[in-house]
């Protein structure tokens, strides 16, 4: 039987996770119901703390680091990011797997139950999959304005990565 994949849409992402393995995630609105039907609980109590934390972090980072010339990475208080990471760590690993499975099931009706589905993978790099999954979720759950802010912050942070490394290196030298 050939797997049934829907035509890839804007709200779909394909993640290559191995030499010959990939996962297609889809964030049309049905994933909420797929999650609820499979795991007998609503997704909102699981995902809303995550969304709130991300939005608060974005707002705090922008407020602290914004200058007339853009974002100054040296003005970002590390406590803001540390606090956000602590709050984000409350998401349980199984919740993450359930969310990913639900997004994958939305893209492909033929995938099996979660345990059997996971057994198919030689490698399941959660650190690669989670950011893509949550970006899809954000597109569907966060207002266009806040999603644009999130995208802008992501772009700014990637552009500032060399500066962050430099600042961190300088701090390590001071500590030694």
The burial class, CB within 10 Å (0-12 / 13-18 / 19+), for 48 is exposed
Residue 8: inside a domain, yes or no? Answer: no
- Note the pLDDT of residue 123: 87
- Note the pLDDT of residue 169: 65
Residue 9: inside a domain, yes or no? Answer: no
pLDDT tens sequence for the chain (176 residues): 444 444 445 578 999 987 788 999 998 888 989 999 999 999 888 887 777 776 676 677 667 767 777 666 666 666 666 666 666 666 678 888 999 999 999 999 999 999 999 999 988 888 788 878 888 887 776 666 766 776 776 676 666 666 666 665 666 666 66
Question: What's this model's pTM, rounded to 2 decimal places?
Answer: 0.66
Question: What is the rounded distance in angstroms from the CA atom of residue 75 to the CA atom of residue 65?
Answer: 5
Residue 100: inside a domain, yes or no? Answer: yes
Domain residue limits at 56 = 24-169
In the chain, how many domains are there? 1
Residue 174: inside a domain, yes or no? Answer: no
Question: What is the rounded distance in angstroms from the CA atom of residue 32 to the CA atom of residue 37?
Answer: 9
Residue 89: inside a domain, yes or no? Answer: yes
């Amino acid at each position: 039987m050939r797997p049934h994949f829907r035509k890839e849409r804007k709200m779909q992402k394909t993640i290559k996770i191995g030499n010959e393995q990939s996962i297609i995630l889809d964030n049309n609105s049905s994933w909420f119901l797929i999650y609820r039907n499979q795991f007998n609980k609503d997704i909102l109590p699981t995902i809303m703390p995550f969304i709130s934390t991300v939005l608060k972090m974005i707002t705090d980072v922008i407020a602290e680091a914004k200058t007339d010339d853009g974002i100054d990475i040296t003005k970002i208080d590390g406590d803001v990011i540390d606090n956000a990471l602590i709050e984000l760590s409350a998401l349980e690993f199984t919740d993450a797997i359930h969310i990913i499975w639900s997004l994958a099931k939305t893209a492909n009706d033929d995938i099996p139950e979660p345990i059997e589905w996971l057994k198919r993978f030689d490698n399941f790099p959660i650190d690669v999959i989670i950011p893509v999954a949550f970006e899809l979720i954000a597109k569907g759950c966060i207002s266009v304005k806040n999603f644009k802010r999130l995208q802008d912050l992501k772009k700014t942070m990637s552009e500032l990565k060399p500066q962050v490394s430099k600042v961190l290196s300088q701090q390590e030298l001071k500590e030694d």
